């Protein structure tokens, strides 16, 4: 099952909620922030009680006064709001190193690392919500999704005060009316509505090209956060073409083990963690297949990468009853740091580090796992490598 990892969080009726917090007399009343009803200017925000009368952000104060004569109008205290906003963001950064504030009361978070600290991403989202509410004294709404758009729309659905998860982002978004989609301009909206297109799915049907450009790019299926600031994801791979096609599984396994060994040492030498493994197999008829899967948590451990790689290799070898001519392995989702993982065993990582130390001091070939040793039968072994026929690597 894919796990949602983008969290969006937004404070409910922010400025109005702060005013209510600072003056409990306002609780449960229609509060309108922005100025007095006889003044020029617009409403910054209104409490949910005032919204029932049709008052909303951006409305002329005068209009708000007409729609909601019993409203309690207050001028804004922006320095107070911005101080609380800072506190809000600071609280979020304790849960994930990747917090992206997008407005004074709203932020996206990447939970793909931090979720390992909690029983589930849902429990973590709940915890974040409760902590923020306790520390700021304000009610917030939270959305979980696979993309920023999905998470933001989930928050929208959760308002006020809820936590919402969109499991099937595409279907959910397809059923929304177009004005719910951030970034669709009023002008475009009017034209589309005039043509009878109200919902995203109608747009997809009538104008797939527009849909593809405007909506589709927001869907993400990758297992990592689509943050603009993140460096482009790197990957490292090692592959080799055999001197002759091989049908013996053990011999293929031995090659793959050696390639994983090289990758693991490379990760350790460069202080990287990998999030995903991909294995590639080419059969004697040149047909080539790849299969990938995420690691349980970001790691450089030979054993962890190996167990996934072997599983993938066996899946690939079922594709055809032919000998293989090439095998390769790639690690992806590379990160230079990882969140603390107190609940996992790091023994296999310590082992990999220990082995790497020995390789550094006495040569790469000074220590191998038994499964790599079959290679001695067909290749020369030098101090720092087994000399494969055609080794290639990419960075
Ligand atoms: N704001 C403003 N003028 C606007 C919109 C917003 O001054 N046109 C300010 C007041 C809001 C704050 O920004 O309190 C946050 O904006 P939101 O859109 O998140 O609105 P609220 O937090 O007020 O309400 P909601 O519960 O819908 O998030
Ligand atoms: Mg808000």
Strand partners, 330: 237, 278
Residues 296 and 190 in one domain: no
Cβ pair 8, 142 in contact under 8 A: yes
Give dist(CA 336, CA 176) in Å, integer: 39
Instruction: Find the 10 Cα to ligand 1 centroid distance in Å.
Output: 9
Residue 90 resides in a domain: no
∠ CA 96-338-236, rounded to 5°: 130
Residues 254 and 360 in one domain: yes
Ligand 1 in reach of 88 Cβ (< 6 A):
no
Residues 189 and 328 in one domain: no
Residue 80 resides in a domain: no
Q: Which of 203, 209, 173 is nearest to 188 (CA)?
A: 203
Residues 214 and 362 in one domain: no
Quickly list DSSP for 63-106: HHHHH-TT-EEE---HHHHHHHHHHHHHHHHTT-S-EEEEETTE
Residue 363 resides in a domain: yes
Number of domains making up the chain: 2
Residues 306 and 381 in one domain: yes
User: Whose Cα sits closest to atom 21 in ligand 1?
Assistant: 13
Residues 273 and 320 in one domain: yes
Please count the other Cβ atoms lying within 10 Å of the Cβ belonging to residue 230.
12
Residue 3 resides in a domain: no
Which residue out of 57, 104, 136, 161 has the highest number of ligand 1 atoms within 8 Å of its CB and is therefore the one to mutate?
57
Residue 300 resides in a domain: yes
Residues 189 and 325 in one domain: no
Ligand 1 in reach of 13 Cβ (< 6 A):
yes
Residues 246 and 382 in one domain: yes
The CATH number covering residue 284 comes to 3.30.1490.100
Residue 202 resides in a domain: yes
pTM: 0.59
Which residue out of 12, 21, 44, 154 has the highest number of ligand 1 atoms within 8 Å of its CB and is therefore the one to mutate?
44
Residue 144 resides in a domain: no
- Average pLDDT along the chain, 395 residues, taken 10 residues at a time: 84 97 97 92 93 94 96 91 93 90 90 77 94 98 90 93 89 87 76 89 87 70 45 76 93 97 94 93 95 91 96 96 96 78 71 94 94 93 86 55
Domain range for residue 373?
236-394
Residues 188 and 325 in one domain: no
Cβ pair 268, 352 in contact under 8 A: yes
Residue 183 resides in a domain: yes
Residues 263 and 332 in one domain: yes
* Pairing label, strands 31-33, 72-74: parallel
Model pLDDT, residue 113: 75
Active-site annotation holds for 106: yes
Can you tell me which atom of ligand 1 is nearest the CA of 12?
A: 26
> Of residues 106, 278, 349, 372, which has the active-site annotation?
106
Instruction: Report residue 236 CA to chain centroid gap.
Output: 21
């Amino acid at each position: 099952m894919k796990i949602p990892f983008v969290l969006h969080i937004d404070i409910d009726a922010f400025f109005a909620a702060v005013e209510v917090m600072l003056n409990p007399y306002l609780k449960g009343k229609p509060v309108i922030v922005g100025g007095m009803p006889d003044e020029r200017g617009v409403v910054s925000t209104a409490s949910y009680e005032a919204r029932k009368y049709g008052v909303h952000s951006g409305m002329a104060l005068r209009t708000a006064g007409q729609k909601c004569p019993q409203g309690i109008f207050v001028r804004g205290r922006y320095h107070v709001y911005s101080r609380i906003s800072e506190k809000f963001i600071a609280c979020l950064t304790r849960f994930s190193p990747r917090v992206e504030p997008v407005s004074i009361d709203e932020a996206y978070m990447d939970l793909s690392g931090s979720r390992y600290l909690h029983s589930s991403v849902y429990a973590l989202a709940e915890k974040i919500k409760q902590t923020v509410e306790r520390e700021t004294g304000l009610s917030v709404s939270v959305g979980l999704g696979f993309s920023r758009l999905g998470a933001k729309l989930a928050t929208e659905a959760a308002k006020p005060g809820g936590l919402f998860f969109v499991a099937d982002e595409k279907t959910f978004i397809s059923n929304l009316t177009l004005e719910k989609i951030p970034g669709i301009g009023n002008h475009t909206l009017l034209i589309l509505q005039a043509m009878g297109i109200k919902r995203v799915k109608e747009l997809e049907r009538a104008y797939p090209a527009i849909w593809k450009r405007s909506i589709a790019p927001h869907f993400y299926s990758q297992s990592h956060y689509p943050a603009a600031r993140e460096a482009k994801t790197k990957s490292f791979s090692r592959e080799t073409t055999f001197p002759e096609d091989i049908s013996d599984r053990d011999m293929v396994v031995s090659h793959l083990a050696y390639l994983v060994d090289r990758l693991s040492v490379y990760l350790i030498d460069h202080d990287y963690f990998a999030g995903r493994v991909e294995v590639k197999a080419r059969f004697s008829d040149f047909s080539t297949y790849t299969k990938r899967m995420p690691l349980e948590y970001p790691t450089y451990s030979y054993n962890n990468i190996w167990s996934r790689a072997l599983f993938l290799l066996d899946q690939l070898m079922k594709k055809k009853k032919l000998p293989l001519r090439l095998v390769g392995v790639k690690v992806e989702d590379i990160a230079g740091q990882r969140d603390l993982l107190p609940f996992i065993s790091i023994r296999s990582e310590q082992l990999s580090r220990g082995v790497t130390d020995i390789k550094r001091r006495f040569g790469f070939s000074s220590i191998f796992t038994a499964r790599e040793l079959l290679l001695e039968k067909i290749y020369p072994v030098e101090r720092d490598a087994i000399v494969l026929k055609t080794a290639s690597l990419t960075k």
